[in-house]
Amino acid sequence: DSGVTQTPKHLITATGQRVTLRCSPRSGDLSVYWYQQSLDQGLQFLIQYYNGEERAKGNILERFSAQQFPDLHSELNLSSLELGDSALYFCASSVGLGSIGEKLFFGSGTQLSVL
């Protein structure tokens, strides 16, 4: 168990809908990262938050947004869902900004299926 908790484990929804994925980092970790794993794109970095502030952005669509709350949990909001958004979404956390030597710990992921 990495200590990173993601809910829900599975999510099935329809095109055009909006969903929210939740991540609780390990106790004491200030950074949260979101990754998308799909069959065609592989594992892609979406976004990082550090202590409530956006720190870095990757290949995140405009239809997607995220935030990190004062208790450090994070939510990834996906809207106007398309079939191609079906993927496994991972959250990871680290104690700091993720500098050299710092480990990232991954959650079990949320499997999103858009029908």
Partner 1 sequence: AQRVTQPEKLLSVFKGAPVELKCNYSYSGSPELFWYVQYSRQRLQLLLRHISRESIKGFTADLNKGETSFHLKKPFAQEEDSAMYYCALKGDAGGTSYGKLTFGQGTILTVHP
- Binding residues vs partner 1 (CB under 8 A): 2, 31, 33, 35, 37, 42-45, 48, 55-56, 58, 88, 90, 92, 94, 97-109, 111
Q: Nearest approach, Cβ of 84 to partner 1 (angstroms)?
A: 18
What is the 3 state secondary structure string of the chain?
Answer: CCCCEEECCEEEECCCCCEEEEEECCCCCCEEEEEEEECCCEEEEEEEEECCEEEEECCCCCCEEEEECCCCCEEEEECCCCHHHCEEEEEEEECCCCCCCCCCEECCCEEEEEC
Q: Nearest approach, Cβ of 8 to partner 1 (angstroms)?
A: 15
Query: Smaller CB distance to partner 1: residue 39 or 71?
Result: 39
Distance CA 68, CA 63 (A): 17
Q: Nearest approach, Cβ of 80 to partner 1 (angstroms)?
A: 26
Query: Smaller CB distance to partner 1: residue 67 or 111?
Result: 111
Q: Nearest approach, Cβ of 10 to partner 1 (angstroms)?
A: 12
